[in-house]
Structure 1
Amino acid sequence: MPVIIDTDPGIDDAIAILYALRNPALDVLALTTVAGNIGLDVTTRNAGRIAALAGVRVPVHPGAAAPLGRAARPETGIHGNDGLGGVAFPEPLQPASEEGAIAAMARLLATAPAGSVDLHCLGPLTNLALLLRSAPQAARRIGRVIAMGGAVEVAGNVGPKAEFNIAHDPEAAVEVLAAGLDLTLIPLDATRQLRADAACIAALRRGGAGPATAAADLIEAYFAATSGAESRPLHDPCVPLLACHEALFRIETYALGVDPATGALLPGPDRVRVAMGLEAGALHDHLRAGLEG
């Protein structure tokens, strides 16, 4: 599956990217970066560092440095000032591309057969909204969009009903949901069911592979940002896992909209496929196997 990964790494983004880059079922054409968990310069450098740890040369294209019409609000309390919880990663194997994310997306989509390239969105939807504005014909050539974001029937993580990725740029989310793309949304309802605990960390360390060990270190850094938790949700890895193992997710169709003030998902006019549940045990096995290569 040829894919573009749009990301703001980010601890759980890093685990998702390592899994995707190591998975022979996915052909990662590019990493495009966006400000979200931390500022654009750091997310762009982190994308290159993650690819270096995976031993993969993949182009990294910097995208939007701020949401549409509002200031960025980084989440350094969880991800740390370096975005990766202080976990050591190598330097990028190559510099970030001078071609921006939106231009790169448009080029890759225009030159590939229509519907053959998927887009995995691990962060705010700013870059996709900008692609829809500036190159709508290219955007229509996306095979499917799989995006981590939102909270449907559970509480949010940045407000009573708001989740970080959508709330960071709700205007972008409004435009993306209304665009009529083949969109599958993975909200907190599902991602909170895929949890990492001490047993998960130990299993990753037993694998011995660099990406698996790095994922264990990242999860430990994730725990360091909390107090008293016995497990932490693995939000972003659900995106490439769904791409490869959709049968392990329970998909429902919802009519949704986005509150442009808070980023909360509301009943609305846009029909969206939503992952509301998952088989955590089997997905943990697939995640570990992918990270071990």
Structure 2
Amino acid sequence: MTAIIDTDPGIDDAIAILYALRQPDLGIAAMTTVAGNIGLSVTTANALRLAALAGAPTPVHPGAAAPLGREPRPETGIHGNDGLGGVVLADPDRSAEAESAVDCLARRLTEAPENSVDLFCLAPLTNIANLLTSAPAAAARIRRVIAMGGAVEEPGNMGRAEFNLAHDPEAAAIVLHAGLDLTLIPLDATRQFRADAAYLDRLRACGTLAASTCADLIDAYFVQTAHQAKGAESRPLHDPCVPLFARHPELFRIETRNLQVDHDGALVPGPHPIRVAMGVEADALRARLAEGLGG
């Protein structure tokens, strides 16, 4: 497998990236960044820091600095001005690539055998929409897209919609209506995947920098909810569901729903059959995440 991560780190993005970069079978070839949880310069710097922490020489390619025709709406209330909830990571050991995100995606898709590259989308879908419109022949070579986003039966977390789709509804519509081999992991699944204080202890006992850093990142989620009382759970661990689904699809309940993206980024009934994760086996997923970070 070869995969490219499209991301806007972001606390839960950071956990997903550290997990994915430690799984050789995922074959993470590059990361592309986009403005979303925080501005592009910060998401790019965070992606570089995470690659360095993981000891992975993964190139990082900056992408879209704003949604298609809209103003950015960063989520600093959850992720902080640094995007990582105040968790300090060492400075990166390399710079971002000069090649843009879309050019990187088009080149790698064209150079690789057809249907051999997966896209792991953890962010607003602006970069992927730009790829579809500017390099459709390259985009047609994508093997599959696994994207965190949307809310089917659950209420949204940004008005009627979920953040990634609501941040750039036009991009979301382009991607979700394109007929790609796409699996969407919405809030219906991710809200079932959380951590408690005992799980943070479990991660710190793993003895790896990746696991202890993820414990700190999840702890920052507790800080944002103002307490870490005994038995309390963190905010949902949204983005780690993407690489976890790539490795453990049996732990997700997948349904096909006929949907479309409306002008607010909400998923509503429509003509496009889309595979969506409507549930997870949360205990097993937590175990697989800890194993992947600590192994």
User: Which TM-score band applies after superposition, normalised by the shorter structure?
Assistant: over 0.9
Corresponding residue of 1:87: 87
Q: Report the residue type matching 2:65 in the other structure.
A: A
Corresponding residue of 2:152: 152
Q: Secondary structure at the match of 1:180?
A: coil
Q: Secondary structure at the match of 2:24?
A: coil
Q: Deviations over 1:79-119 (max 9, x none)?
A: 01100111121111210000000000000000001110000
Q: Distance in 1 between matches of 2:168 and 2:93?
A: 31
Q: Report the residue type matching 1:203 in the other structure.
A: R
Corresponding residue of 1:20: 20
Q: Deviations over 1:172-204 (max 9, x none)?
A: 011111111001000000001111111111110
Corresponding residue of 1:253: 256
Q: Distance in 1 between matches of 2:115 and 2:280?
A: 26
Instruction: Indicate yes or no: 2:267 matched with 1:265.
Output: yes
User: Which aligned pairs between 1:1-293 and structure 2 lie closer than 5 A?
Assistant: 1-159=1-159, 161-228=160-227, 230-231=232-233, 232-260=235-263, 262-293=264-295
Q: Deviations over 1:99-147 (max 9, x none)?
A: 0000000000000011100000000000000000000010111110000
- Asked if the contact 1:44/1:62 (under 8 Å) is kept, the reply is yes
Q: How many residues align?
A: 291
Q: Secondary structure at the match of 1:276?
A: strand
1:24 CA displacement: 2.0
Q: Secondary structure at the match of 1:143?
A: strand
- Asked if the contact 1:241/1:287 (under 8 Å) is kept, the reply is yes
TM-score by length of 1: 0.98
1:228 CA displacement: 4.6
Say what the alpha-carbon RMSD is for the aligned residues.
Answer: 0.8
What are the ranges of 5 or more consecutive residues in structure 1 without an aligned counterpart?
none
- Asked if the contact 1:57/1:93 (under 8 Å) is kept, the reply is no
Q: Secondary structure at the match of 1:207?
A: coil
Q: Report the residue type matching 1:288 in the other structure.
A: A
Q: Report the residue type matching 1:276 in the other structure.
A: M
1:248 CA displacement: 0.8
1:70 CA displacement: 0.3
Q: Secondary structure at the match of 1:145?
A: strand
Q: Report the residue type matching 1:242 in the other structure.
A: F
1:227 CA displacement: 2.9
Q: Report the residue type matching 2:145 in the other structure.
A: V
Q: Distance in 2 between matches of 1:197 and 1:65?
A: 34
Q: Secondary structure at the match of 1:234?
A: coil
What are the ranges of 5 or more consecutive residues in structure 2 without an aligned counterpart?
none
1:68 CA displacement: 0.2
Q: Report the residue type matching 1:167 in the other structure.
A: A
Q: Distance in 1 between matches of 2:200 and 2:274?
A: 34
